[in-house]
Amino acid sequence: MGSSIKKLTYKHSYHLVDSSPWPIFTSFSALVLTSGAILYMHSYRYGGFLFATGLLLVLYSISCWWRDVIRESCYEGHHTKIVQLGLRYGMVLFIVSEVLFFVAFFWAFFHSSLSPAIEIGTVWPPQGIDVLNPWHIPLLNTLILLLSGCSVTWSHHAILHGYRKEAITSLVVTVTLATIFTLLQGLEYVSANFNISDGIYGSTFYLATGFHGFHGAQLYFK
């Protein structure tokens, strides 16, 4: 008996994605992560466990999903020039959404600081809030952030020119700086005498700085 292998041919350059469990699994993982984070921040029992479980599920789904994307790109040849152009457009839209995301946070902060409401005593920062010294950890973290931007740019150009050792070295420097930045940010959170529940100041401070850390992680992974 003879057997024949049919080769799939397409009349277009677009990638028709196969069925995948990762979108729904990632959505479920994100739900567990956000629910656990909310419960943890409000000191509910097992909130921390639910948050850690959601984080592990998200990391697992990310690794599996990207593994499949790498296979589709490098081994199956689905990422044609049109697909690559669409991915670039998607990255541009992602960055625009991040910019608008932080514009909302800064808008909330400056709106509340430039015209303090009567509910917070018409003063900024509100009474009872002992703000952090901007010339200590915040200044150091700013310098580390700028240095990490330089090192990741160095890594990017090294990759473009095929300098593998320089690319690895600069990427290690970037990850090291990112780790130091995260540790210092955690130290800042521990030393602060206010939390996210302390009015508009605590909300804007922790949301802006916390999501800044998530934003940096997203860009490094991208």
Q: What are the domain boundaries of the chain?
A: 1-79
Band the pLDDT of 217: cuts 50, 70, 90. Answer: low
pLDDT in the model for residue 95: 87
**Mean pLDDT of the residues in the chain:** 87
Per-residue confidence (pLDDT) for residue 1, from 0 to 100: 45
Are 181 and 145 within 8 A, CB to CB? yes
Residue 219: per-residue pLDDT: 53
Q: Are 147 and 184 in contact (CB under 8 A)?
A: no
DSSP 7: P
pLDDT-derived band at 216, boundaries 50, 70, 90: low
Asked if 72 and 84 touch (Cβ cutoff 8 Å), the reply is no
Say if CB 141 and CB 184 are below 8 A apart: yes
How much is the pLDDT for 49?
94
* pLDDT recorded at residue 197: 82
3-state helix, strand, coil in the chain (%, to 5): 75, 0, 25
Identify the pLDDT of residue 21: 93
The CB density around residue 85, as the number of other CB atoms within 10 Å, is 11
Residue 143: CB atoms within 10 Å? 11
Cα gap 44→36, rounded to integer Å: 9
The pLDDT assigned to 15 comes to: 77
In 3-state terms, what secondary structure has residue 203? helix
Residue 13: both structure tokens together: 């350059």
Band (pLDDT 50/70/90 cuts) for residue 61 is very high
Burial of 88 (C-beta count, 10 Å sphere; 0-12/13-18/19+): exposed
* Statement: residue 212 has pLDDT above 80: no
Give the model's pLDDT for residue 198. 85
Is the distance from CB of 171 to CB of 152 less than 8 angstroms? yes
82 alpha-carbon distance from chain centroid: 26
Tell which wins on pLDDT, 8 or 114: 114
pTM of the model: 0.65
pLDDT digits over 66-86, tens only?
A: 999 999 888 888 888 898 899
Question: What mean pLDDT is predicted for residues 15-22?
Answer: 85
Instruction: Identify the architecture of domain 1-79 in CATH.
Output: Orthogonal Bundle (1.10)
Instruction: List helix spans (H) across 161-198.
Output: 164-191
d(CA 43, CA 112): 27
| Residue 5, pLDDT score | 43
Q: Give residue 127's pLDDT.
A: 85
Residue 8 pLDDT greater than 70, yes or no: no
Unique residue bearing structure tokens 């909130």: 47
